[in-house]
Amino acid sequence: MATDITTDRLRELAETRTAQGKVLSVFINLDPREFATPPARATEISSVMDEAGRAIRDHGTLTHAERTALEHDVERVRAQLRNGLDTEGARGLAVFASELAGLFEILKLPRPVPHKVAISDHPCVEPLARIGAGELWWLVLVDRRRVRLLAGTIDGLVEVWRQDDDVPGKHDQGGLSQARYQRSVEKEVDDHLRAVNAELQRRIKANRVAGILLGGPKETVAHLEQMLHADVAKCLKGRFDVDVWNSSTDEVLNAARAVLDELTARRDRELQQRIDEGLGTGGRAAAGLNEVLTAVHERRVDTLVVQDGFTAKGTRCPQCGWLGVSAGGQCPADGTMTEAVDDVVEIAVARAFAQDARVRYRPATDLWLEQKGSIAALLRF
C-alpha cells in the first residue's frame, strides 16, 4: 500500500494560493479491482490526462499565458507518468501542477478516488481531505528483538520504521553459565525494548496520532508497556494479535481492523456527544451550514463533521474570505460584493484543514448528522 498523504502535506496544499497562474488538480482512479494490470493503469492515466487537456482548451476565462502554462503542466505530468513514476500499490493519484506558481506534485493515494479535473486559483484538496480525514493511527509490532512501526488510517498503512536488534551474543552461550546466559539474553531484550520506547518517544513529538496499538507476543507487549514514556503511554489505545515480522501492511491492517473499527466508532460517539452538549448549552459547537461557515471563517473549528456527498452552492467574499450560503449580496464584514462558488462545503473543508482542524466524514446514512443539516462542528472556543 502506498500513500504520500500526510496531514501536514494536506494543510500546506490547502493553504496554497497562487499569485499568478492557475492550478491544475487531477485525480486519477487506480482501483486495482478495475485497473489491475500496468497497461490498464497506463490507459486510465492517459485518458484522464486527455480530459485535463480538454478542460484547459474549453476553459472560458484563462489568459493566453495561463493556458500555455497549464498545457505545459499536462505534458510534464504525462512525461513523469510515462517515464517510470512508480504507481505500484497506489489506488489513486492526485496531481497538482502550476508552472507559473512553481507547483508540481504527484501524490499516491491509499484509496480509490473518483476522477476529477479542476482548474482553479488553488489546489483542489477536498478529495484528499476525504482520504486524509481518516485519523492517523500507529501500529507498533514488537517481539523480543524486532520492531516495526506502521502508520496510517483505516484505509491503508505505510511502514515507517523496521528494525532487527539481533545481538550476536544471543545465540552464542560461549563460556557463560546457563543462569548468566539467561540474564544476558533478558538484558538484551530489555535494551531492545528501551530502544523501541526511546524511538517512539522521539517520533511522537512530531505527530498527532489518534492512538497507538501494540501487536506481538503478549509477554513482550506487556513488558514494553511497563516502560513506555508517558507521552507514548497516553496514546496507547489497544492491542492486537499479529505476525510481527512476516505480515504485509494489508495483513497488519486486517489483523487490527476490528480494534480500529471499535476505537473509531467510540471516537465518533464521543465527538457526537460533545457536539450535542455544546449545542444544548449554547457552547462550543455549531450545526447547519450557515453556522458552521461562520465558525470556519472565524477560525474556531476544532473538528468539522461532514456527511458524505454533502455539497452546497454558496458565496465567498474575495476580499476577506467570508463564506455564506445565499447567492449574491455584500459581505457583512466589509461590504465587498461576494462571488458565487459551486461548492462552499468543499471550501469549508479545505479551510478547516488549513486551520489545523480535524475533519471527519460520516456516511450518507448518518441520521444524527442529517438532522443537524449534514454538517456540524466542535469548536475551539
Residues that bind Zn ion (CB under 5 A): 317, 319-320, 322, 331, 333-334, 336
- CB of 232 or CB of 331, closer to Zn ion: 331
Cell numbers placing 200: 517512539
Give CA–CA dist 250/100, Å, rounded.
40
- CB of 320 or CB of 327, closer to Zn ion: 320
Among the listed residues 95, 132, 155, the one whose alpha carbon sits nearest the alpha carbon of residue 9: 132
How much of the chain is helix, strand and coil, in % rounded to 5?
40, 25, 35
SS3 label, residue 318: coil
CB of residue 15 vs Zn ion: minimum separation in angstroms? 19
List all residues 6 or more positions away from 273 whose beta carbon is below 8 Å from its beta carbon.
Answer: none
Using the Cα atoms of residue 188, residue 194, residue 196 and residue 198 in order, give the sign of their dihedral. negative
- CB of 333 or CB of 340, closer to Zn ion: 333
CB of residue 269 vs Zn ion: minimum separation in angstroms? 37
The residue length of the chain stands at 381
CB of residue 334 vs Zn ion: minimum separation in angstroms? 4
CB of residue 209 vs Zn ion: minimum separation in angstroms? 37
What are the helix (H) ranges across 217-343? 218-227, 230-233, 249-280, 289-297
CB of residue 318 vs Zn ion: minimum separation in angstroms? 8
CB of residue 107 vs Zn ion: minimum separation in angstroms? 32
- CB of 265 or CB of 320, closer to Zn ion: 320
- CB of 248 or CB of 319, closer to Zn ion: 319
Cell numbers placing 66: 495561463
- CB of 195 or CB of 337, closer to Zn ion: 337
- Which strands make up the sheet holding 146-153, listed edge to edge? 156-164, 146-153, 137-142, 211-215, 236-240
